[in-house]
Amino acid sequence: MKFSDASSTRALRMFECFANEGKPLSLSEISAFMNTPISTCHALVAVLREGGYLYTNRKSKRFYPTKRLLRVAESIAVNDPIVSYFEPYLRQLSKATQETVILGTRQDDSVVYLEVVEGPQVIRYSAEPGDIKPLHSSAIGKLVLGEMPNEERARILAQLSLDKVTDSTVVERTALDEQVRDAHAAGVYQTCGENVSDVMAIAIPVIVYDDLFGVAVAGPRERMKAEYEAIQGALMQVRLALKMDFD
């Protein structure tokens, strides 16, 4: 089963369509959802069926993914050395704080979430692995900026598009630079309503195999504020445990 770069992107988008709709789809529906010509979708569906990733309902002529993609994804996830290493600590942290815990790292001029352990609270911050967040408005993004050498940070800040994600987002470069410098000195980074208006997040940096990762706790702003010291303490304990284990 061979794909061009464009076809690979369309294949991923097609699976996202099935995930969003949660039901079998006809070829015309796939074409409409993807805003892609039927002829292109037909060729892509044929390749995915041949590879065992899609099957067709004979009566309705609709398509749906088989579990082959799930098996491939599970195999990939189980063998991710970074996530596997962090996972027990992330779960421990979520249990201690009762909030959502996130593992993220830099991806170009953004942050990508590698793992998310959602807290048990009914009202909580929700996210998914693979989510992409801005450097300037997310806690792990600020961590990435703050842990850079000064010269690199100045260069990155000069080229970043500092979009106003919420009313609280810091979009003035000098103010953002000062904020992340102060956070670097304290060893803790945070956002308060800057990426999601009613969410606060607190993050710490961790170095593994010479790569920088951020571990963050995120939840409703008022609850996070009330438990700030306890959450910060739990983060520091996990950071220490990670360092001792890795050393």
49-62 pLDDT tens trace? 999 999 998 888 89
Same domain for 130 and 69: no
| CB-CB contact of 69 with 218 (8 Å) | no
Number of domains in the chain: 2
**CA distances (Å), origin 109, targets 89, 136, 141, 143, 157:** 27, 10, 9, 13, 10
Same domain for 112 and 47: no
Give me Rg for the CA atoms of the chain.
Answer: 21
Predicted TM-score (pTM) of this structure: 0.78
Residue 125, SS3 per DSSP: coil
Same domain for 172 and 63: no
pLDDT tens figures, 113-156: 999 999 999 999 999 999 999 999 999 999 999 999 999 999 99
CA-based nearest residue to 112, from 86, 140, 88 = 140
Same domain for 218 and 137: yes
CATH of the domain at 30: 1.10.10.10
**CA distances (Å), origin 105, targets 44, 64, 187:** 32, 33, 17
Same domain for 65 and 131: no
Neighbouring C-beta atoms of residue 50, cutoff 10 Å? 10
Same domain for 224 and 110: yes
Determine the structural domain holding residue 25 and report its residue range.
5-73
| CB-CB contact of 64 with 53 (8 Å) | no
pLDDT tens figures, 193-218: 999 999 999 999 999 888 999 999 99
Same domain for 148 and 46: no
Picking from 73, 91, 116, the residue at the C-terminal end of a domain is 73
pLDDT tens figures, 158-197: 999 999 999 999 999 999 999 999 999 999 999 999 999 9
Q: For 135, which DSSP code? A: T
Torsions phi, psi of 122, nearest 5? -65, -45
Residue with tokens 């410098």: 181
Token code pair at residue 4: 């061009």
CATH of the domain at 217: 3.30.450.40
